[in-house]
Amino acid sequence: MKKPVIILLHVGYWLVFLLLLFVLYGLSSAAALSNEQDPGVGAGEWFKLMFSTTILPGVICFYTFYFIIFSRFLQKRRIPEFFISVFVASYVAAIIGGGVGSLNYFLGHFFLLDKNLPTVLSMLTFLAFIALLNGVIGLVMRGFITWYSEIKMKEDLNKKNFEMELALVKSQINPHFLFNTINNIDVLITKEPELASKYLNTLSDIMRFMLYETKAERILLSKELAYIEKFIGLHKIRSNNPEYVHYTVTGSAPNMMIAPMLFIPFIENAFKHVADKKANPAISISLNIDKEKITFICQNNFKEETREENEHSGLGDGLIRKRLQLLYPDKHELTVTTDNNIYAVYLTISC
């Protein structure tokens, strides 16, 4: 929590506290006058009395609890020491307030100097109770500020963690993808230069997307779909059977926003682990879009032994699941199946 806000909380509390005291003085004076009684001490004397018996012990106890007792005992869960310190601090504050109040004797108004011991003890206990109330409020305020600061810190850590997760996703996708694509374009340059130029421009668009679009927390779904289509197109040049990939999009939501590079890890893994590119299709990718939900399905054939050999070469399920949990907590459902040598990913996201 920012310092100006904390200072405002403290100033606000003491202003309310003083206002309450003056309201009580006004009510007691009004009651005395209505009963045709002497209202007692004037406002000046009353304020001196309140300062010594209520305000001063309250301030001492409040900030003792706030700065010392909370951090040294309560926060560290040293419960016995906490209760002892609370008792001691309350009575010390009461004694200081009573001592200051007794000085009024020299100004024409005595407080404790003419009282017997039992009366003094009972009055000090009352003052200690008033001081304790202020101390408890000090503890509550310090606890609230600490709680809020910890929540803010956790939010910042989660944000940094998310940024690290996204950076890790990019770092694992880009080198593998770029290395293969550049090699394929290099082969095409001598054989089909026009096609090589087309794929090079597509690669340039993909790089532009990775460098600029993925910096935002949310992008238009249409941009993500355009990126996926170009990504699939570049992968097709590696195969003599371009029909081995079946990609469909149904439905539309022109203004829908999603996190960038959300589906690419699954598609990248499908291309990396597909076993038979001669099958039609070897990879099947579909997205169904409506106004509130996206359903993504990605399937590829694989050989069990091949998958086991390569399971650590791509993006792991744990990383992908963690990123989804950070981006869409309680708003996504991810299911992965491996039946009949078909690896399938079913992802539903509520937007």
Measured CA angle at 201 (ends 197, 207), to 5 deg: 140
**Of the residues 98, 125, 153, the one at which a domain ends:** 153
Same domain, 139 and 198: no
Same domain, 107 and 232: no
Q: Mind listing the pLDDT tens digit for each residue in 290-332?
A: 888 999 999 999 877 655 544 444 445 677 787 788 788 889 9
| Distance of alpha carbon 156 from alpha carbon 138, whole angstroms | 27
Return the structure tokens found at 203: 């690669």
**Of the residues 102, 132, 153, the one at which a domain ends:** 153
pLDDT band at 168 (very low <50, low <70, confident <90, very high): low
Same domain, 197 and 122: no
| Distance of alpha carbon 158 from alpha carbon 80, whole angstroms | 36
Number of domains in the chain: 2
Top-confidence residue, 48 or 270 = 270
Q: What is the mean pLDDT of residues 114-128?
A: 80
- pLDDT, residue 208, reads 82
Q: What is the mean pLDDT of residues 135-144?
A: 94
**Of the residues 94, 124, 153, the one at which a domain ends:** 153
Mean pLDDT over each residue of the chain, to the nearest integer:
82
Measured CA angle at 252 (ends 204, 163), to 5 deg: 50
Hey, what long-range contacts does 145-153 have (CB within 8 A, 24 or more apart)?
Answer: 145/1, 145/6, 145/9, 146/70, 146/75, 148/1, 149/1, 152/1
- pLDDT, residue 222, reads 92
| Distance of alpha carbon 78 from alpha carbon 256, whole angstroms | 52
Same domain, 130 and 203: no
Top-confidence residue, 162 or 121 = 121
CATH of the domain at 242: 3.30.565.10
Same domain, 27 and 147: yes
| pTM given for the model | 0.52
Is residue 269 predicted with pLDDT exceeding 60?
yes
Q: What is the mean pLDDT of residues 58-77?
A: 93
pLDDT band at 38 (very low <50, low <70, confident <90, very high): low
The least confident of 50-64, 68-82, 237-251 is 237-251
- pLDDT, residue 106, reads 47
The answer for residues whose C-beta is within 8 angstroms of residue 277's C-beta and 6 or more apart is 239, 241, 244
**Which of the given ranges, 167-171, 237-241, 262-266, has the highest pLDDT on average?**
262-266
Residue 32 contacts residue 39 (beta carbons within 8 Å): yes
Q: 87 is in which domain, residue-wise? A: 3-153
Q: Judging by DSSP bridges, how do beta strands 332-339 and 342-350 pair with one another?
A: antiparallel
Q: What is the mean pLDDT of residues 330-351?
A: 92
Q: Mind listing the pLDDT tens digit for each residue in 208-252?
A: 887 777 777 889 999 999 989 988 888 887 677 778 899 999 998
